[in-house]
């Protein structure tokens, strides 16, 4: 089940199997999220007050989950911004291509796991906001 918050981003609730010994959540590509998972990485030990991301991806889709603690993801489509607070391991934020993202407000001990639709390729990144903004203008 998903909650649509903007056209290209959405919180996706994942199945939670309750068990007195500890709960379990799982993710299957092309079933729970709308892409095949080709890469997994995670952010951790982020110093207080630091920001991460600060880029957009040309073709890669991502799904971000707060595996521990919490953080905020700011999504910018070139026209408007929206902030999402992630703080549970049984839901995450789907981010489509051509969305500028920044991550901040990390709590102590937080872990951000990212599932990606593509292998890492530097040429897939817009790291300069003005380059991203020009690309968004052309694509609309």
- Taking alpha carbons only, the member of 38, 40, 18, 42 closest to residue 30 is 38
What is the tens place of the pLDDT at every residue in 49-70?
899 999 999 999 999 999 999 9
Q: Position of tokens 């906001």?
A: 129
Stretch 1-13: mean pLDDT: 66
Residues involved in catalysis = 55
What is the tens place of the pLDDT at every residue in 11-30?
999 999 999 999 999 999 99
Stretch 118-123: mean pLDDT: 98
pLDDT for position 7: 56
* CA atoms within 13 A of residue 121's CA, in its CB half-sphere: 12
Kindly state the tokens that stand for 57. Answer: 């991806």
What is the tens place of the pLDDT at every residue in 79-109?
999 999 999 999 999 999 999 999 999 999 9
pLDDT(4) > 50? no
pTM: 0.92
- Measured torsion, CA atoms of residues 98, 12, 62, 106, in degrees rounded to the nearest 10: 100
pLDDT(3) > 60? no
């Amino acid at each position: 089940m998903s909650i649509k918050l903007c056209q290209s981003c959405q919180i996706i609730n994942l199945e939670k199997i309750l068990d007195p010994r500890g709960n379990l959540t799982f993710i299957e590509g092309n079933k729970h999220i709308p892409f095949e998972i080709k890469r997994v990485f995670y952010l951790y030990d982020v110093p207080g007050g630091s920001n991460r991301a600060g880029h957009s991806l040309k073709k890669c889709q991502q799904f971000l989950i707060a595996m521990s603690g919490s953080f905020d993801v700011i999504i910018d489509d070139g026209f408007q911004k929206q902030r999402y607070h992630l703080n549970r391991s049984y839901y995450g934020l789907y981010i489509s291509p051509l969305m500028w993202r920044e991550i901040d407000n990390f709590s102590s001990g937080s872990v951000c796991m990212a599932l990606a639709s593509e292998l890492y390729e530097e040429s897939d990144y817009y790291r300069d906001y003005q380059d991203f903004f020009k690309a968004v203008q052309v694509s609309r």
